[in-house]
Copies of this chain bind each other. A is one copy, B any other.
Amino acid sequence: MSTEVTNPPSALPPFDTGQHLLSVSQLDRAALTRLFAVAESLRPVGEGRMVCRILEGAVLGSLFFEPSTRTRLSFESAFRRLGGSVVSTTGFTFSSMAKGESIHDTARVVSGYSDAMVVRHPDTGSVAQFAQASVVPVINAGDGSGEHPSQSLLDLFTMREELSSRDKSIDGATIAVLGDLRYGRTVHSLLQILGLYDNVSFRVFGPPALALPSGFFDLVASTGNRIVECDSVDEAIAPADVIYCTRVQKERLSEEDEQAVHLHGDLLNTAILQEHASPDAIVMHPLPRDSRHNSFDLSPDVDGFPGLAIFRQTDNGLLVRMAIFSIALGVADRVADELRPATWRRR
């Protein structure tokens, strides 16, 4: 697990029709704005009020070399909601690769069955390798400690929507980031991608053994934003517009680390929020959260807090992934025209 700032691969072309999406570095601010507008236009489809069949006849190849059920379901549901079909496989079931087949051959063959692919793999860089041999656009759904661009995009989209409903914007926002700042991939991606926005103030707090690697302070500074390391949750959240929590990835800690880290109690709960945070604050978390008592995570007792956006985050994931597919397959400009009322209803 790398805890260093890595420079994004510079050779990647901007994300657009026919292109792979391997890294958030493929999107500039204009591209983000466009993607989010497409996502927003698809909200009635995500909510089951309208249907859109614009990808009818297209087949998505969904290859999860390591399981990640909710990410897989979200991507597959997004493609299906646009009228497409999915062929899917999970786990290390590629017996071919055990027989000495190269990632090139696997990728070339399987891409020939699909019109787009979603690939997750435990090894950093392997999805990019996969994409090189593919004859269709490949969306990176996470490659180890590498990138997981759709997660960063849904975080950003949610932040934007939630702030906008309070007449604020990401430009100028104060964002508290709490929890595992050392290993949390989503935190690192967020700090990087928010470099596209202006006047952002980060206030970060994590247990000493899980502090933010120093390179990220330089990274934020280099983009013109501000970052402050806080000594407590209270101090971090007090002026925050957005509070972004993360789970401590206990499975990555050594026993010593675990001793050193304050890992009991709650990271954040209603009492702390009521005492220290703005009543208007937005609370986010990439999920899953550890809901067991004393797990040093976001307590389930916050579920009544009005600014809790954690489930809107996952709901938004569907919209963002629909938008990603729309762009990759060249239909983004037409989705809004293809909406029609659903003939069924959930409620």
A contact set with B: CB distance below 8 Å = 17-18, 45, 48, 51-59, 61, 67-70, 72-74, 76-77, 80-81, 83, 85-87, 89-90, 93-97, 99-102, 104-106, 108-110, 112-116, 135-137, 247, 251, 287-292, 295, 297, 300, 311, 314-315, 318, 329-331, 334, 342-347
Contacts and interface: CB of A to CB of B under 8 A. Distances in A.
Q: Which of A17, A55, A72, A329 has the most CB of B within 10 A?
A: A329
Contacts of A80: 59, 85, 87
Question: How many monomers of this chain does the complex have?
Answer: 3
A290 B100 CA distance: 4
Contacts of A330: 344-345
Given A73-B61, A329-B346, A291 B115 contact: no
Interface of A is mostly: loop
Nearest to A344: B329
A130 B69 CA distance: 17
B73 A110 contact: yes
A114 B57 contact: no
Contact of A101 (B290, B315, B347): B290
A18 B100 contact: no
B101 A73 contact: no
